[in-house]
Copies of this chain bind each other. A is one copy, B any other.
């Protein structure tokens, strides 16, 4: 008996009950892994489009929705920042003006620093094109699944947690390049994606 009607058997991600009980999303280890990898490769605030693609891809590993991806990045970004800030404080009591809080100032001089400050969420609907709102924001092209991110990643499967999740694993990420296509240079006028996620949660 795998699925208890009333419980959510989870093994650090994976199956959530029998379908009726839907608590909150519980990512599978693979999902977390991929997300983390994306994060590490520089992705911070994925665009709507990116989110959808990621979500779509990750659904292979288990139940997931776009909003989960969105939230994951929000939280992860925030918590990484916070963690670092805390460490910083502990170590040397930076009491002076925290020079690091403003995000776009220095951030990481990471190699693949992605600045995509794209306003995430949705995008304007229908007909009327939002025109060239052209925000100043630097928007860099981002490859969602950089080749080097997954290549080997797929190889190692922790397996620590039993594969309760449906579809097991396997699945090579190798050929799913989410944004690898052209990632659409949004550099020019980007359409002001709009609408906040928060609105769409329901329904």
Contact = CB atoms under 8 A, between A and B. Distances in A.
A32 to B, nearest CB: 20
A195 B197 contact: yes
A128 B16 CA distance: 14
A9 B123 CA distance: 25
Contacts of A133: 23
Interface residues of A, number: 44
Number of copies: 2
A198 B203 contact: yes
A194 B200 CA distance: 10
Interface string A110-132: 00000000000111111111110
Given A20-B128, A195-B197, A161 B202 contact: yes
Interface of A: 5-6, 19-23, 48, 51-52, 55, 65-67, 70-71, 121-131, 133, 161-164, 166, 193-203
- 6 closest Cβ pairs, A-B complex: A125-B196, A199-B200, A122-B200, A66-B201, A200-B202, A125-B194
